[in-house]
Structure 1
Amino acid sequence: MFTRIALFLATNLAVLVLAGIVMSILGVHPQQLGGLLVMAAIFGFGGSLISLLTSKWMAKRATGAYVITQPRNETERWLLETVRRQAQAAGIGMPEVAIYDAPEINAFATGANRNNALVAVSTGLLRNMNADEAEAVLGHEVAHIANGDMVTMALLQGVLNTFVIVLARVVGGVVDSYLSGNREDRGPGLAYFAIVMVLEIVFGLFATMIAMWFSRRREFRADAGGARLAGRHKMIAALERLALNQGQSTLPAQVAAFGIAGGMGQGLRRLFMSHPPLSERIAALRAAA
């Protein structure tokens, strides 16, 4: 927890320093910088923090997940017992455990608090994986919670959103001023807002690449965590099963990045993938052994 807070503060400080340097070069006054940073932080962090705080509720609503309170059969009893054992080993509170109806093999974890999270598995996973493979998938999701990945991802997205908002408006103001002949008595016009919109799209694409790069790195860490909790051979077997049954995910967008199964991409498309290719994840686990 303290490491994540320190990283968050250091990242914000770096953003402020870099923004200050950029704006000094571009001739933006400190008074303008302060107001712009406050506005950008409110909008930049607002959406990501609200998404984080409502993530469990949204995930259950979007997937129609059924939370297991009293096990109705042996499968549900095994799910609860396995997650409870792994949560204790990982040093986190017992997450809610849920099942959602979907044909593909998948699972996800979400929640704003590592001691009050949610782990959900698809009916397709229960039908197509054996107990060892399912145990490894659960370990992967518990590792996501223990690593604080949901919180870290939300904070990173907030920082990136803030930077995009600030940079788009600063650069947009400079471009608009240049196009208008540097007339100081002229306020921002339609051209300024059009430029800002275009720049937000362009800078937003770069911000998405950074966020997805981090998302891919955390998948390797969660695989390693799943290997520690369930066993390396089980984690490798689970990923190999996913590779054999890989298809289009039906998870909603708000939780797709937290599912265990990733998509496939080539060339530039790889830069926007939330998960590394399964072949690379399997190779990393084998190399670590």
Structure 2
Amino acid sequence: MVLRTVLFLITNLAVVATISLLLWLGVATGWLPPDLPLIPLLIGSFGWGVVGSWISLQVSRQSAIQAMGVQLVDGREGASALWLVETVARLANKAELPMPEVGVYASPEWNAFATGASPEGALVAVSSGILEGMPQAELEAVLAHEMSHVGNGDMVTMALLQGVINAFVMFLARAIALLLPRRSDDQGRQPPPISALIWPLELLLGIAGSLVTAWFSRHREFRADAGAARLTAAGAMVGALQLLGQTQDLLEPRDGTALASFKIAGPPSLLGLFASHPPLEQRIAALQELQSANPSTP
């Protein structure tokens, strides 16, 4: 995670330096007015985006526990909890990852999620519905999917990516508001204040930015599915996704919507470009293709 964070900071500095150079050239060539504080605005926006995403990442595990009502388990709570902890431990050992905290949250939905600022501080949690209702072979594949998210550092990447998007939204909304012509109309009415323009611009730019985060979220689901197939079996992961498809009414978006992109499955969406998860059919097809390309894979 340290290397990923350092690369993220270097990338942000490179982006800020590049945009600053372009802004300086714009002022030098007369394309931009020299009296606007665009470069300080740029630096402040990216600083705020980096700090905000870092804080969000650090509190993600505890926030998830509180938001979802997760109860941490160690195996002494009963047979189901013991199986859950032992299975996660076995998968962590196979993936050469630290043992995460394990939790259960009370909900009839069939779902699971992983979160945390690092593999050493990760949390893997499942709903009571999926723990009680899904067969163990398929549930093990679901847990392997979540462990693959931990191993891939997806929680870190998602948080840092959102920080970059937030920084661009903050900067562009204010830069556009500052650069828009501000003249009185024919009746002498004054234009709206800049602050009144920023919120609509942030809304529009935020919607555009969500397309990027949704695309990455869908991409990482395919990677986590492939990781689950390596840790368990492609057939088990296919079976788990098929069962999730049969229980779409139990994929409740009402609770913990902020954690939707971290769960094994999301609710159906009419707006595919904004969906945090690919359609289950596409994920199943990708796993079957992987299985066909590697006949030795169960």
CA distance, structure 2, for counterparts of residue 232 and residue 198 of structure 1: 46
Aligned to 1:210: 212
Offset at residue 140 of structure 1 (A): 0.4
Answer with 277-286 or 44-53: which moved more: 44-53
Aligned to 1:101: 106
Aligned to 1:197: 199
Offset at residue 20 of structure 1 (A): 4.2
Q: How is 1:159-238 mapped onto 2 (pairs within 5 angstroms)? A: 159-175=164-180, 178-180=181-183, 190-238=192-240
Aligned to 1:240: 242
Offset at residue 12 of structure 1 (A): 5.1
Deviations 1:55-74 (A, max 9, x none): 11111111111101342222
Aligned to 1:35: 40
Report the aligned-residue RMSD.
Answer: 2.3
Percent identical: 41
- Asked if 1:135 is matched to 2:140, the reply is yes
Aligned to 2:7: 6
Offset at residue 47 of structure 1 (A): 3.0
CA distance, structure 1, for counterparts of residue 171 and residue 18 of structure 2: 13
Residue type of the alignment partner of 2:209? A
Is the contact between residue 59 and residue 254 of structure 1 (CA under 8 Å) also seen in structure 2? Answer: no
223, 248, 253: which one pairs with 1:249? 253
Deviations 1:29-49 (A, max 9, x none): 599343212321233233322
Is the contact between residue 75 and residue 83 of structure 2 (CA under 8 Å) also seen in structure 1? Answer: no
Inter-CA distance 246–252: structure 2 relative to 1 (3 Å threshold)? same
CA distance, structure 1, for counterparts of residue 265 and residue 96 of structure 2: 25
Offset at residue 210 of structure 1 (A): 0.6
Is the contact between residue 90 and residue 146 of structure 1 (CA under 8 Å) also seen in structure 2? Answer: yes
Offset at residue 105 of structure 1 (A): 0.5
Aligned to 1:185: none
Q: How is 1:250-265 mapped onto 2 (pairs within 5 angstroms)? A: 250-265=254-269
Paired positions, count? 279
71, 80, 88: which one pairs with 1:75? 80
Aligned to 2:187: none
Inter-CA distance 16–90: structure 2 relative to 1 (3 Å threshold)? farther
Residue type of the alignment partner of 2:10? L
Inter-CA distance 89–30: structure 2 relative to 1 (3 Å threshold)? farther
Q: Which runs of 5+ in 1 are unaligned?
A: 182-188
Deviations 1:73-108 (A, max 9, x none): 221111111111111222221000011110010000
Structure with larger RCO (C-alpha < 8 A, sep 6+):
1
Is the contact between residue 236 and residue 282 of structure 1 (CA under 8 Å) also seen in structure 2? Answer: yes
Deviations 1:192-231 (A, max 9, x none): 2222221111111111111111111011111111111111
Aligned to 1:184: none
Residue type of the alignment partner of 1:157? Q
CA distance, structure 2, for counterparts of residue 28 and residue 263 of structure 1: 47
Deviations 1:107-160 (A, max 9, x none): 000000111100000111012210101000000000001100111011101111
Q: Provide the TM-score with structure 2 as the length reference.
A: 0.86
Q: Provide the TM-score with structure 1 as the length reference.
A: 0.89
Offset at residue 7 of structure 1 (A): 5.6
Is the contact between residue 246 and residue 261 of structure 1 (CA under 8 Å) also seen in structure 2? Answer: no
- Asked if 1:89 is matched to 2:94, the reply is yes
CA distance, structure 2, for counterparts of residue 88 and residue 40 of structure 1: 41
